[in-house]
């Protein structure tokens, strides 16, 4: 029974990773597609490859995710982890349906916390505060501010250049910035799935907390997020690429470069699982505000903000419900 449960948990984790891929595919490529720097299929292929590569560039974020809760080493512990994943998947699908760029990262953390609370097991609140809540609040402000500043710098540097030449140059540059963004997405988001799989392995007694990540976990997580990315995410792509603001190539390059920089910094320096969605969306708003504040469609931004605020508690509630159902089914089966 325990072996069947751990197989099920790993399978659900990889399903979450896949939904993360198609839900967040727009993070890396929406700006490049909307400015016509890249065609959708070329952009998706590049993002899928870079997501796969990025998954192998570190393990610190995965370690942080695996420390959020302390499930017991038992079947019960594995059920808690699975319930957290199911809550995150449910919220990902809801926000994907409505085209809202919400955070898969915060859905996952919210799901794990929600399942742990209803199950009565420990939540490491200091880790949640330091590595999730504070970065969750800070990263959008940092991305917005840097996006605004970098775009002002670009406008000043190229103030005497011909607009058509500038656009052509930045279309080429966007290939690099989009690749950097996709690499950062793999670095951040694939690791989150690795962390939760490792958490399940520890709960099932198949690994010790001090062990390193098994290679097969890294390969499976990298493959799942890449396949999800390749499958698209067109609803959210429209929101990021055009509904917030109509981007030109220089602004697309600035937004992607700033977002990628924030992702790398938080992964390597702070070891924090921040939201790629929050980061790129805030950067897009920041570069858009350099036109004029009214150029940003703040009504759309408000809807996105509502999705951000609701993600943690909504995924937690869905995970709590999943746990109650799974726990009941397990009692019946046993």
Paired tokens of 190: 């694939």
**Residue pointed to by tokens 């990298």:** 222
Q: Comparing C-alpha atoms, which of 241, 276, 297, 288 is closest to residue 37?
A: 241
Which residue in the block uniquely carries the two structure tokens 């742990």? Answer: 116
Quick check: 18 and 190 in contact, CB under 8 A?
no
Closest CA to 65 of 229, 271, 314: 271
Query: What does the pLDDT read at residue 277?
Result: 78
In this predicted structure, what is the pLDDT of residue 326? Answer: 85
Residue 132, CA atoms < 13 Å, CB-side half-sphere: 27
Distances from the Cα of 86 to the Cαs of 8, 92, 285, in angstroms?
Answer: 11, 10, 31
**Distances from the Cα of 217 to the Cαs of 24, 154, 200, 239, in angstroms?**
21, 41, 12, 33
Extents of the domains making up the chain: 2-327
Q: How far apart are alpha carbons 153 and 161 in whole angstroms? A: 14
**Cα distance between residue 313 and residue 270, in whole Å:** 24
* Whole-structure pTM value: 0.85
- 224-240 core/surface letters (b: 16 or more CB in 10 A; e: else): bbbbbbbebbbbbbebb
Q: Contact at 8 Å (CB) between 115 and 320?
A: yes
pLDDT in tens, the chain (334 residues): 678 888 988 999 998 888 888 777 666 677 777 777 777 778 888 888 998 998 898 888 888 888 899 888 888 889 999 999 999 999 888 887 776 767 788 899 999 999 999 999 889 999 999 988 898 888 889 999 999 999 999 999 998 888 888 988 998 898 899 899 889 988 888 888 999 999 999 988 888 888 888 999 999 999 999 988 887 655 555 554 455 556 788 988 999 999 999 999 998 988 888 888 788 888 988 998 888 766 566 666 676 677 778 888 999 999 999 999 887 876 655 5
- By the 10 Å C-beta count (0-12 exposed, 13-18 middle, 19+ buried), 127 is classed as middle
pLDDT of residue 295: 59
What whole-number distance in Å separates Cα of residue 191 and Cα of residue 198? Answer: 10
- What was the pLDDT predicted at 299? 65
- What is the Cα 247 distance to its own chain's centre? 22
Tokens coding 10:
């790993």
């Amino acid at each position: 029974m325990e072996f069947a449960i751990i197989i099920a948990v790993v399978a659900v984790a990889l399903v979450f990773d896949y939904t993360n891929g198609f839900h967040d595919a727009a993070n890396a490529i929406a700006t490049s597609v909307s400015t016509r720097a890249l065609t959708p299929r070329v952009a998706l292929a590049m993002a899928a490859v870079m997501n796969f590569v990025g998954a192998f560039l570190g393990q610190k974020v995965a370690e942080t995710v695996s420390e959020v809760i302390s499930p017991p080493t038992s079947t019960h512990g594995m059920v808690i982890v699975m319930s957290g994943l199911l809550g995150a998947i449910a919220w990902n699908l809801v926000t994907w349906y409505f085209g809202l760029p919400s955070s898969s990262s915060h859905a996952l953390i919210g799901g794990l916390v929600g399942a742990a609370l209803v199950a009565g097991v420990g939540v490491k609140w200091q880790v949640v505060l330091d590595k999730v809540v504070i970065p969750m609040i800070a990263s959008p402000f940092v991305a917005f501010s840097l996006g605004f500043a970098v775009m002002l710098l670009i406008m000043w540097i190229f103030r005497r250049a011909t607009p058509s030449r500038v656009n052509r140059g930045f279309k080429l540059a966007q290939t690099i910035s989009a690749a950097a963004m996709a690499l950062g997405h793999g670095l951040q988001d694939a690791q989150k799935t690795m962390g939760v799989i490792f958490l399940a392995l520890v709960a099932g007694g198949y690994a010790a907390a001090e062990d390193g990540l098994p290679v097969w976990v890294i390969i499976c997580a990298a493959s799942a997020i890449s396949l999800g990315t390749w499958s698209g995410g067109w609803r959210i792509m429209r929101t990021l690429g055009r509904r917030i603001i109509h981007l030109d190539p220089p602004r697309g390059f600035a937004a992607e470069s700033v977002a990628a920089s924030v992702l790398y910094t938080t992964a390597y320096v702070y070891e924090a699982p921040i939201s790629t969605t929050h980061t790129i969306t805030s950067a897009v708003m920041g570069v858009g505000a350099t036109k004029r504040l009214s150029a940003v469609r703040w009504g759309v931004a408000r809807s996105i903000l509502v999705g951000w605020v609701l993600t943690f508690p909504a995924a937690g509630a869905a995970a709590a419900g999943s746990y109650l159902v799974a726990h009941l089914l397990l009692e019946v089966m046993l």
